[in-house]
Amino acid sequence: MTHRCESTCAPDASAETVVPHSLGLTRKTPTLQATAQSLVVSVLDLVATRAGEPVGSAIARSVELARRVEQLGYRRYWVAEHHAIQGMACSAPPVLIGHIAAATKTIRVGSGGVMLPNHAPLVVAEQFGTLEAIYPGRIDLGLGRAPGGDFQTMHALRHGLGQDGDDFPSLIEELRTYLGPERPGQVVKAVPGQNSNVPITVLGSSGFSAQLAATLGLPFAFAAHLAPENLHSAAQVYREGFRPSHELRKPYLFVAVQVIAAETDAAARRLFTTPQQRFLRVIRGEPAELLPPVDSMERLWHDAEREAVENRLRAAIVGSDATVQAGLERLASNTRAAEVIVLTETYEHSDRIDSYRRVARIAARILAPTGEAYAG
């Protein structure tokens, strides 16, 4: 695969767009002009649903968000893969990717990620090869090894495949065979998919995935929103073990992190109670739907639950523009992340749009690590 060097640029700063009235918003969002040296930011979307609402409403919000962040200069829009979790409508990434790509024009759209042991590599190659044929140069394929659900759901997904997380490296190699140039004597081919060279990124939250990405010479995306305790060690493993490849000459590290930016620290912290409540419900085995923010979490959890939620979300960057800028600068400096994948979950869509607008403006003021180049 050949990767081109891209800069992060938005449309003219004087342009304005208006969200459709169907989503209940009227705020105008100015676009931003970033420099080639600015910190690259992208979006991770879990397609969160509210209690009792149709799934189509959550998907419509995702489409609208993708259009907005495209205008704001975000580089890519990734959707996750989760199964049988009430509150997350992201069980079919290829379908969502096609829908979002059709509604946008330039932003890269991809998976954050496809949980490869859940699928036959040939099917994944055909799906993403088809997407690449429809939207050339705009499709990303992030790959993870977690099930994206509980054990029973994993068994249902992998029934007959005989795959588990331990065979993740061999599954990636098989998938690369289907996406790359046809090899001498190759019998099974992905049509479409063969020679599509869809860019692959290894996703993970541990040293195992970091070492695999380094060995293969592929970009690595660390899920700091899930396992913040492993961030720095995994980043070090990836950089120290990286082997240049045909795809990538130098390490390229993504870091996915929760971010909420608002007018004040207090306003952002209140909005943050929505993802806090969501993780609390996950811990309790309850539906993980979005709930409205609250003034205080103290009456909602006991000490052990509070500790568990705070540990899981301790990498989150929450606050005013100044607080978020300091947090992003610290994250980029400490990890040398070339790209930050921003996950923002608020109950009101208008708050989510506003946060992404603020983050785009903040990122344009932050200098990215030097020496990184990746066209995916």
Residue 30 CB: number of other CB atoms within 10 A? 16
Query: What residue type is 348 in one-letter code?
Result: E
- At how many degrees (to 10) do helices 321-335 and 231-241 cross? 40
Residue 187 CB: number of other CB atoms within 10 A? 5
- How do residues 299-312 score in pLDDT, each as one tens digit? 999 999 999 999 99
Question: Which own/partner contact pairs does 232-239 have at CB distance under 8 Å and 24+ positions apart?
Answer: 232/334, 232/335, 233/207, 234/204, 234/205, 234/206, 234/207, 234/209, 234/210, 235/210, 235/335, 235/336, 235/337, 237/207, 237/210, 237/211, 238/210, 238/211, 238/213, 238/214, 239/214, 239/336
Smallest Cα–Cα separation from 10: which of 75, 56, 66, 60?
75
pTM: 0.87
Per-residue pLDDT at 86: 87
Smallest Cα–Cα separation from 43: which of 202, 219, 321, 259?
259
Q: Which DSSP symbol is given to 183? A: P
Query: What residue type is 311 in one-letter code?
Result: N
Residues 6 or more apart from 135 whose CB is under 8 A from it?
A: 98, 101, 102, 109
Dihedral sign for Cα 355, 49, 98, 174, please: positive
Yes or no: say if 104 and 44 are a contact pair by the CB < 8 Å rule: no
Smallest Cα–Cα separation from 38: which of 13, 14, 8?
8
User: How high is the mean pLDDT in each 10-residue block of the chain (376 residues)?
Assistant: 32 31 33 63 97 95 98 98 88 96 98 92 97 98 79 66 78 96 93 96 96 97 96 97 94 97 98 97 93 97 96 97 98 95 98 98 87 54
CA distance 225 to 276: 12
Q: Which DSSP symbol is given to 23? A: G
Per DSSP, the three-state class of 142 is strand
* Rounded-to-10 torsion of CA 316, 276, 227, 176: -90
Q: Which two tokens stand for residue 30?
A: 């100015």
CA distance 366 to 70: 19
Q: Residue 112: in which H helix or E strand, if any? A: strand 108-115
CA distances from 371 to 17, 191, 251, 311, 343 (A): 34, 36, 9, 33, 26
Per DSSP, the three-state class of 32 is coil
Per-residue pLDDT at 57: 97
